[in-house]
Chains A and B, each alone.
Chain A
Amino acid sequence: MTAAGGGRGRRVATRDFALELDRLSGASSLGEDPARLEGRAVLLAVGDMAKAAAALIELDGVARQIVLCPPGAGIDALVALARAAAADALVHDGDAPTPEIGVETRVACRLPLQPLSAPRAARFSTEWILPTSGTSGPPKLVAHTLATLTAAFHPVAGERWATFYDIRRYGGLQILLRALSGAEPLTLSDPNESVDAFLVRLGEAGATHISGTPSHWRKVLMSGEARKIAPQRVRLSGEIADDAVLAGLSALYPQARVEHAYASTEAGVAFVVSDGRAGFPASVVADDGEVALRVVDDVLRVRSNRAALRYVGADAPALKDADGFVDTGDVVARSGERYLFVGRRGGIINVGGAKVHPEEVEAALNAHRAVRASRVFARKSPITGALVAAEVVLRDGAAADEGMKRDILAACRAALPAHKAPSFVTFVAELPITDGGKLVRHG
């Protein structure tokens, strides 16, 4: 095992491993006979992200399909993924028990790399199969190729990337592929590592470009180690970035360009906004370049060369409409020359027949000077069906008392229509975040 650390060169560094990418041409993480995986639909289910990165690089061109299993997927989830993707081979973690998922061809993935006796034959145009992030409902599988996954960026020298995402999710995979196209090391998080410890490691690695969800970045804003990093680029994606988190990051890292990317596993990266404000300019919708956008019934649709090819599975629905657009399910509202993200189509709270998106209420809460983060959910009501309730994480030094609650609720009533303003607020120390870095939504 090689210790992770700083220095230059093409390397993927997790907390426990440093994978030297240039060695992969003559070495393998998949043992003596990776040819057993040729032309297969391979379920990739390993723990550490350095192993996952090695296996991905080795399998591209060798496997017919690579199914990227999210970290920590239990045996039931793996069986379901294998069935949905019709996988006929498994790459599992060589340092953990082999999951019994009824697939005969099984190959252990181990680091450090072992020398290969014969060079790998890359004969296939491999499909990369990703589960969608599934913020609502069970995850679906979509098929990408290296071409769709890398269409959103051009290699730029000197960008030393890092991400809070797992690389088996779309947001993290984007960063892995960016780093692979460059010449600098990539620093990856560890699920068992605190935000504080990761920030220290990012500082030591000299990361210049760092990506994560707004929930990840709110944790950074609350961390005592936030000044251990000095990024040139702060990138937010995967959730709605509100004005408060963008302003907070710009104030903390005045030298950085703070940008939010609009992307999804299905639609790919659609656009990046770097003017420091929530939402996006209406001109983005009008512009019909590589990416075309449409707003249909207040929901954003995207057509681009970065979109996935299709949903995978026997009864999979169509991914694209007749014109090739992917329905994102993200509700937007136009305000003058700008569109704002309102929320998810499926996440609506119904207050006596009036629709409320938790995200728009959270944006109003987060605008309060004492609020660092918030989560809005429905409270059942025998009168209106539901009411809006909120959990709030306060900024350091803010008093968690009844007066503060009244002040926050009054600010929301001033900013929102009556039915959207929360009626209840609870102070919490932290909010639950999914493995994908997104706020956990109540069922």
Chain B
Amino acid sequence: MTTRLTILAAICEVAAEQRKTLAALSDDLPLMESGLDSLCFAILVARLEDALGTDPFTAAGDGRLPATVGELIAFYDNALV
């Protein structure tokens, strides 16, 4: 599975578990408007660390963080290069 598909599947899985209504996922969807709350994001990032072997949020320190779904995917893609 590509990083993109892994991330999108994980977002759907966490939203379903936490009973959140997910907005239609597109690259320019702001994460703040996705329907996920901070607990969902925390779970998502930990699941992705297990699935992809990296946690770019911890590695980023005070660097720039992703604001949209597309940036989130790029964030992981860059970390995996």
Residues of A within 8 A of B (CB): 351-352, 379-384, 387, 409-410, 413, 418-419, 423-424
B45 and A383 form a contact (CB under 8 A) = yes
For B42, the chain A residues whose CB sits under 8 A away are 351-352, 381-384, 387, 423
A383 and B57 form a contact (CB under 8 A) = yes
A384 and B57 form a contact (CB under 8 A) = no
Say what secondary structure dominates the interface of chain B. helix
Shortest Cβ gap from B49 to chain A (Å): 10
For B46, the chain A residues whose CB sits under 8 A away are 379, 381, 387, 423-424
B39 and A384 form a contact (CB under 8 A) = yes
Of A351, A381, A418, chain B has the most CB atoms within 10 Å of the CB of: A381
Q: Answer whether A387 and B43 are a contact pair too, CB < 8 Å, given A413-B17, A418-B18.
A: yes
B38 close to chain A: CB less than 8 A: yes
Q: State the CA gap A117–B45 with chains docked (Å).
A: 74
- The residue of chain B having its C-beta at the shortest distance from the C-beta of A354 within the complex is B39
Q: State the CA gap A381–B43 with chains docked (Å).
A: 8
Among A351, A382, A409, the residue within 8 A (CB) of B45 is A382
30 intermolecular pairs with C-beta atoms under 8 Å apart: A351-B42, A352-B39, A352-B42, A379-B46, A381-B42, A381-B45, A381-B46, A382-B42, A382-B45, A382-B55, A382-B57, A382-B58, A383-B38, A383-B41, A383-B42, A383-B45, A384-B38, A384-B39, A387-B42, A387-B46, A409-B17, A410-B17, A413-B17, A413-B18, A418-B18, A418-B39, A423-B42, A423-B43, A423-B47, A424-B46
Q: State the CA gap A379–B50 with chains docked (Å).
A: 12
- The residue of chain A having its C-beta at the shortest distance from the C-beta of B37 within the complex is A418
For B43, the chain A residues whose CB sits under 8 A away are 387, 423
For B18, the chain A residues whose CB sits under 8 A away are 413, 418
For B41, the chain A residues whose CB sits under 8 A away are 383
For B50, the chain A residues whose CB sits under 8 A away are 424
For B39, the chain A residues whose CB sits under 8 A away are 351-352, 384, 418-419
Bitwise interface map of B from 2 to 33 toward A, beta carbon under 8 Å scored 1, else 0 = 00000000000000011000000000000000
Shortest Cβ gap from B58 to chain A (Å): 5
Q: Answer whether A352 and B45 are a contact pair too, CB < 8 Å, given A382-B58, A413-B17, A418-B18.
A: no
Interface size on B, residues (CB 8 A): 14
Shortest Cβ gap from B43 to chain A (Å): 5
Of A380, A384, A387, chain B has the most CB atoms within 10 Å of the CB of: A384
Nearest 5 A/B pairs, CB to CB: A383-B42, A382-B57, A384-B42, A381-B42, A382-B58
Bitwise interface map of B from 36 to 69 toward A, beta carbon under 8 Å scored 1, else 0 = 0011011101110010000101100000000000
For B58, the chain A residues whose CB sits under 8 A away are 380, 382
Q: State the CA gap A381–B42 with chains docked (Å).
A: 6
A352 and B55 form a contact (CB under 8 A) = no
For A387, the chain B residues whose CB sits under 8 A away are 42-43, 46
Q: State the CA gap A222–B18 with chains docked (Å).
A: 33
For A413, the chain B residues whose CB sits under 8 A away are 17-18
Q: State the CA gap A387–B18 with chains docked (Å).
A: 14
Of B18, B39, B41, B58, chain A has the most CB atoms within 10 Å of the CB of: B39
Q: State the CA gap A116–B41 with chains docked (Å).
A: 72
Known: A381-B42, A381-B45. 15 other contacts (CB 8 A): A352-B38, A352-B42, A379-B46, A381-B46, A382-B55, A383-B38, A383-B41, A383-B42, A383-B45, A384-B39, A387-B46, A410-B17, A418-B18, A418-B39, A423-B47
For B57, the chain A residues whose CB sits under 8 A away are 382-383
For B38, the chain A residues whose CB sits under 8 A away are 352, 383-384
For B45, the chain A residues whose CB sits under 8 A away are 381-383
Shortest Cβ gap from A415 to chain B (Å): 14
Q: State the CA gap A418–B45 with chains docked (Å).
A: 16
Q: State the CA gap A419–B42 with chains docked (Å).
A: 11
Shortest Cβ gap from A386 to chain B (Å): 9
Q: State the CA gap A423–B39 with chains docked (Å).
A: 10
For A410, the chain B residues whose CB sits under 8 A away are 17
Q: State the CA gap A136–B17 with chains docked (Å).
A: 33
Shortest Cβ gap from A180 to chain B (Å): 53
For B55, the chain A residues whose CB sits under 8 A away are 382
Shortest Cβ gap from B32 to chain A (Å): 13
For A418, the chain B residues whose CB sits under 8 A away are 18, 39
- The residue of chain B having its C-beta at the shortest distance from the C-beta of A384 within the complex is B42
Shortest Cβ gap from A411 to chain B (Å): 12
- The residue of chain B having its C-beta at the shortest distance from the C-beta of A385 within the complex is B42
- The residue of chain B having its C-beta at the shortest distance from the C-beta of A353 within the complex is B38
Q: State the CA gap A413–B38 with chains docked (Å).
A: 16
